[in-house]
Amino acid sequence: MNRTELIAAVAEKTGVEKKIVDKTVRALLAEVTERVANKEKVQLAGFGTFEARARAARTGRNPHTGKEVKIAAVTAPAFKAGKTFKATVAEKK
């Protein structure tokens, strides 16, 4: 499912115009992105938690040459699924 399909599905379920749902989805994603970029956690009860996680610098290997390469430290976005989300996915096997 892509963003357009998500917007259409939410509009259908809620009876709200697609334009309004589109604005809402864009605002939600922008706010989550901004908060995580500022190293804040965004917790949506039952769904999950978005956060920034720091990864330390490390040494890796180039698979083609076998030479060691240095991989820089980085802060990356992460998502941890909530209990309800996990249970729903597990039920739908």
Give 22's Cβ-side CA count (13 Å radius): 6
At residue 72, φ and ψ (nearest 5 deg) are -70, 155
- On the question of pLDDT at 92 being above 90, the answer is no
At residue 35, φ and ψ (nearest 5 deg) are -65, -45
Instruction: Record the pTM.
Output: 0.81
Nearest CA to 42 out of 32, 53, 27 is that of 32
pLDDT digits (tens, 9 = 90+) for 42-77: 999 999 999 999 999 999 999 999 999 999 999 999
